[in-house]
Amino acid sequence: MGTVIHRITESQARQLISDYTYTIDDGAVSEWPTYFTEPCLYRITTRQNHEMVMPLSIMLCDNQAMLYDRVEAIEKANIFEPHYYRHVVSESKVIGKTDTEIQMETSFICVRTMLDGRVTVFATGRYSDHIVLDEGRCLFRSRVVILDSSKIDTLIAIPL
């Protein structure tokens, strides 16, 4: 019997992106770290910083422990007005692919709804994702959120 080789598919990667988005939008932020490998990278930056290859980040987590710390801060320490996100994402564009890894970019718009009914466009930009197969599961090795605007709302409490 030969070794079974698992190959990543575009469909699996797109499903990961979709599942991630619904998890954030449904408020299940405690599940957020489970979408990443160990080690991993989650970074929010601006388009200008990304294009200039500047390391400045609005949010930076480079391992799962930091992701879980972020979740704990959201659930227990940070005080912010309750709100909800709703993402609309584009079809993902494949940037590179091997048997076990895929790099994709996906445009997004995120609308924030406050409990009083106020609705605002919170963020627009793109995700630059490095997705891998890890023990048969499709996970993010890195997710870089590249925001179109350098004008950032101070209420980035929940991951994009």
Give the CATH number for residue 76: 3.10.450.50
| Predicted structure pTM score | 0.91
Domain contains 124: yes
53-62, 79-88, 118-127, 140-149: range with lowest mean pLDDT: 79-88
In the prediction, which pLDDT does 1 show? 53
The domain total for the chain is 1
In the prediction, which pLDDT does 41 show? 98
In the prediction, which pLDDT does 2 show? 53
Domain contains 4: no
Domain contains 129: yes
Domain contains 153: no
Token representation of residue 88 = 């609309």
Domain contains 160: no
Give the other-Cβ count within 10 Å of 141's Cβ: 17
- Residue span of the structural domain in which 85 resides: 10-147
